[in-house]
Amino acid sequence: MGDVDSGSGTARGADGESARVLLYLIISDPSTLDRLMTVLLDLGIGGATVIESKGMAAIIREEMPIFSGLGALLPERTGSRVVFSATTNERAEQLFAVLDDEFSQRQRPIAFTVPIVGWVGLRG
């Protein structure tokens, strides 16, 4: 039974609220991050965690620099971000629709959800 106040629960809440999912966004174009944050807030998706990330191809390329070794000394500027947030399935669907309609193909992040079966520590 879901218990929002104590921050623990299982997949479906006591009032039959929409299932909880973990929303992932992989953003390769950092210039879209600001706009995406606004969209998330507009849709009521808060409490997101944003981490800097690097693609596998970038790491493999860095392991074997041929001409561009000086870049290793640059401050971390991976350019990619991963955003994840626990939210409801409904809100995630709304977000996908917005991403489809309002973001160009190049700006659109990779977005997907995975179901949350149980949780501790989530609020609201």
In the block, which residue shows the tokens 């000086």?
70
| CB of 5 or CB of 34, closer to another protein | 34
Rule CB under 8 A: is residue 106 a binding residue for another protein?
yes
Assess 71 for contact with another protein (CB under 8 A): yes
Q: Is 68 in the site for another protein (CB under 8 A)?
A: yes
Least distance (Å) between residue 55 CB and another protein: 10
Phi (first) and psi of residue 57, to 5 degrees: -60, -35
Q: CB 58 → another protein: shortest distance, Å?
A: 9
Residues in the interface with another protein (CB under 8 A) total: 23
User: In sequence order, what are the residues at sequence separation of 6 or more whose Cβ sits closer than 8 angstroms to the Cβ of residue 109?
Assistant: 25, 26, 27, 28, 29, 32, 36, 83, 99, 103
The binder of another protein chosen from 104, 120, 121, 123 (CB under 8 A): 104
Question: Which alpha helices (DSSP H) does the chain contain, by range?
Answer: 33-42, 56-63, 89-102
**With left for phi above 0 and alpha for psi between -120 and 50, is residue 111 left, alpha or beta?**
beta
Binding flag, residue 101, another protein (CB under 8 A):
no
Residue 60 contacts another protein per CB under 8 A:
yes
Could you tell me which residues come within 8 angstroms of residue 18 by beta carbon, excluding any fewer than 6 positions away? 88, 89, 90, 91
By CB under 8 A, tell whether 34 contacts another protein.
Answer: no
Q: What are the residues binding another protein (CB under 8 A)?
A: 29, 31, 57, 60-61, 63-75, 79, 104-107
